[in-house]
């Protein structure tokens, strides 16, 4: 009798005979879930340390709960094997991770771990210039200020998440190391809905100094209104949604105190306000307690406002101001028929007023929220 010796060409191995690892059928190993950092870890970095992975299968659910039960959003890799958080964690906070995965046969495994993040040596706070739910003009710029110098500007900038409907590309630009402004390339399309997620909490802005801001806000861009002031012609044209509403005679800066050229954005509105020349470097040249219908265009003191002290013949014929744009008005701000009142009532915070043909330089982009005077290729460059 002949004995036939068979080689391994049949495709079955010793491992096949005894099954897969830990008694699982071949090709059906239990999914292995790893949570980093490990359970009980302390002084964990607020970014770059948390990661959940799966071997021999995929992750089906990952939840990360913060100290107050809030969930940390995250992103799962395309192959379903790696999960990472989508934002920084808070400082000196305990987090609990629960992860579920399954192998190719649908068998599930669950793992959990808790850890505590690193305390902050110091913190920094942030403020911004747009009220939640506001309707603003097409020139509005989101401007954030910080109470301490920021060194990792890119990390702080990238922690501000802006989404729009319709989709518009928005970039941030740093002015120095304590101010960060955001805008699109061109004025916002009318009707744009903007949502901002401030995720600065846990961001290390400088060594040992972490942010605390973790908040959402939104605003709506209203109708498009852009006003062009021609300092030479002494007129201004108000254009809304592509149509001229009105052309109004004005007075702008005198020869010795000309008005800035450039695109300026209305940032504040006052039905009446005091204007004291001493506060903007003009000594005692003027102090008017009740300037009507005043709207701020620059930090340095440029306003577009009503003027009741100049004669009616001044508007459209002479430039006599200390740099502001003046419209005919009445004392008391109580006559709705005046140009000053009409423009005030028809303007939004965020509307654009562009001055042309003035004998002065273009206003600096950080003098007010006037970043529209910076070319797009420079906006957002570097940090």
- Which tokens sit at 360? 């002065």
**9 catalytically annotated:** no
Q: What's the CA gap between 209 and 56, in Å, rounded? A: 40
- Beta-carbon-side half-sphere exposure of residue 252 (alpha carbons within 13 Å): 24
Q: How far apart are CA 70 and CA 64, in angstroms?
A: 8
**Residues 88, 293, 322, 324: which is the catalytic one?**
324
Left if phi > 0, otherwise alpha if psi is -120 to 50, otherwise beta: which for 266? beta
Single out the catalytic residue among 88, 173, 305, 322: 305
305 counts as catalytic: yes
Backbone angles phi, psi at 314, to 5 degrees: -70, -40
- Cβ atoms of 164 and 218 within 8 Å: the answer is no
What element of type H or E holds 102?
A: strand 94-102
CA 91 to CA 89: how far, in whole Å? 7
Residue 369, C-beta contacts closer than 8 angstroms, at least 6 positions apart: 129, 140, 141, 143, 181, 265, 267
Q: CA geometry: angle at 71 spanning 65 and 76, to 5°?
A: 100
Task: Report, as residue numbers or ranges, the catalytic residues.
Answer: 305, 324
């Amino acid at each position: 009798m002949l004995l036939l010796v068979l080689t391994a060409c049949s495709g079955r191995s010793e491992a096949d005979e005894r099954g897969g690892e830990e008694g699982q059928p071949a090709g059906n190993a239990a999914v292995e879930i790893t949570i980093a950092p490990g359970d009980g870890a302390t002084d964990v970095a607020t970014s770059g340390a948390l990661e959940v992975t799966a071997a021999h299968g995929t992750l089906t659910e990952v939840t990360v709960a913060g100290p107050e039960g809030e969930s940390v959003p995250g992103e799962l890799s395309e192959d379903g094997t790696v999960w990472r958080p989508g934002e920084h964690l808070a400082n000196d906070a305990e987090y609990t991770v629960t992860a579920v995965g399954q192998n190719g046969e649908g068998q599930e495994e669950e793992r959990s771990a808790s850890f505590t993040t690193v305390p902050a040596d110091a913190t920094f706070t942030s403020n911004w210039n747009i009220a939640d739910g506001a309707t603003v003009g097409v020139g509005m710029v989101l401007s954030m200020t910080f109470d301490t110098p920021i060194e990792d500007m890119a990390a702080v900038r990238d922690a501000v998440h802006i989404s729009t409907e319709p989709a518009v590309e928005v970039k941030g630009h740093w002015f120095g190391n304590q101010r960060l402004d955001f805008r699109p390339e061109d004025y916002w399309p009318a009707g744009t809905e903007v949502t901002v997620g401030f995720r600065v909490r846990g961001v290390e802005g400088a060594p040992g100094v972490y942010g605390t801001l973790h908040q959402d806000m939104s605003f709506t861009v209203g109708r498009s209104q852009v006003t062009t002031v021609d300092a030479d012609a002494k007129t201004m044209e108000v254009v809304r949604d592509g149509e001229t509403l009105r052309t109004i005679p004005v007075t702008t800066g005198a020869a010795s105190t000309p008005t800035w050229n450039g695109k300026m954005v209305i940032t504040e509105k006052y039905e009446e306000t005091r204007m004291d020349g001493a506060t903007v470097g003009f000594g005692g040249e003027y102090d008017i307690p009740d300037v009507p219908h005043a709207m701020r265009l620059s930090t340095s003191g440029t306003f577009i406002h009503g003027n009741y002290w100049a004669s009616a013949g001044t508007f459209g014929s002479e430039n006599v101001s200390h740099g502001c744009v003046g419209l005919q008005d009445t004392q008391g701000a109580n006559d709705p028929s005046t140009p000053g009142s009409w423009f005030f009532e028809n303007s939004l915070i965020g509307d654009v007023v562009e001055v042309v043909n003035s004998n002065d330089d273009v206003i600096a982009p950080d003098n007010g929220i006037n970043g529209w005077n910076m070319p797009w290729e420079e906006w957002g460059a570097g940090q």
